[in-house]
Amino acid sequence: MSNNRSFVCNLVSVEDEISFIVWYNLSMKSTGTTPYIIAVCGLKNCGKTTFVVGLIKELKQLGLRVAAFKHVAHDFICDTNGTDSWRFSEAGAESVAVYSGHRYMFIKEEPGKPEDLIHLAGDCDIIVIEGGKNLPYPKIAIVREGISAEPVTRENLIAVATDTGYTDPDVTTIDLNDHKAAADIIAACLI
């Protein structure tokens, strides 16, 4: 007996096609698969965070489960001076966790890599990394008026989001504020 499933659908618009792609990917996804990872990269102050926030909202509208990672080139403090967990770190704990019935935070004092964090993202469909121009994942580069004239990388580039006249015949160019177009490009990569 065959397990093959047949279906017929009528896709009359780009929105229908994107919805079908997302539905198909989610319905065929087996548990334990690695999420699709996309990096959004660009120079400092080019609008990466604003772009990622808009992108996450649009990906959620498509029914996708999204995780977000942020790469920073400098050291950072993710705890508040004087809290119990901060005091644990200051006392020398290599790892500190804070948890409740609503969320948890885990701090480990060692260099981080996205590969070490993927399993923490749970059963998400997509991980959006802000930064990571040197990572081996597909990328959307931000080219911003007065900040940059070209993408910070060409490696694994699937799109350029810009508010300039930048064009590239080899890469899709979208408006910097068109987060839906970016989400649609990513959704198309899921098949």
Q: Can you give 27-54 as a three-state secondary structure string?
A: HHCCCCCCCEEEEEECCCCCCHHHHHHH
**What does the pLDDT look like over 3-21, one tens digit per residue?**
333 344 444 544 555 554 5
Name the pTM for this structure: 0.76
- Residue found under tokens 């993927």: 118
Structural domain of residue 164, as residue ranges?
A: 14-74+117-189
Whether residue 91 lies inside any domain: the answer is no
Whether residue 84 lies inside any domain: the answer is no
Whether residue 95 lies inside any domain: the answer is no
Whether residue 5 lies inside any domain: the answer is no
Whether residue 37 lies inside any domain: the answer is yes
| pLDDT, position 15 | 55
Whether residue 162 lies inside any domain: the answer is yes
| pLDDT, position 77 | 66
Distance CA 16, CA 160 (A): 24
Distance CA 59, CA 38 (A): 12
Whether residue 59 lies inside any domain: the answer is yes
Whether residue 169 lies inside any domain: the answer is yes
Tally of structural domains, the chain: 1
Distance CA 175, CA 191 (A): 24
| pLDDT, position 66 | 92
| 89, two tokens | 């770190």
**What does the pLDDT look like over 123-139, one tens digit per residue?**
889 999 999 899 999 99
CB atoms within 10 A of CB 104: 10
Torsion angle defined by CA atoms of residues 89, 70, 113 and 80, in that order, rounded to the nearest 10 degrees:
0
Residue 158: partners with Cβ closer than 8 Å, 6 or more residues away:
38, 138, 139, 140, 171, 172, 185, 186, 189
Positions in the chain whose pLDDT score sits under 70: 1-33, 73-77, 114
Q: Give the CA angle between residues 27, 40, 37 to the nearest 5°.
A: 30
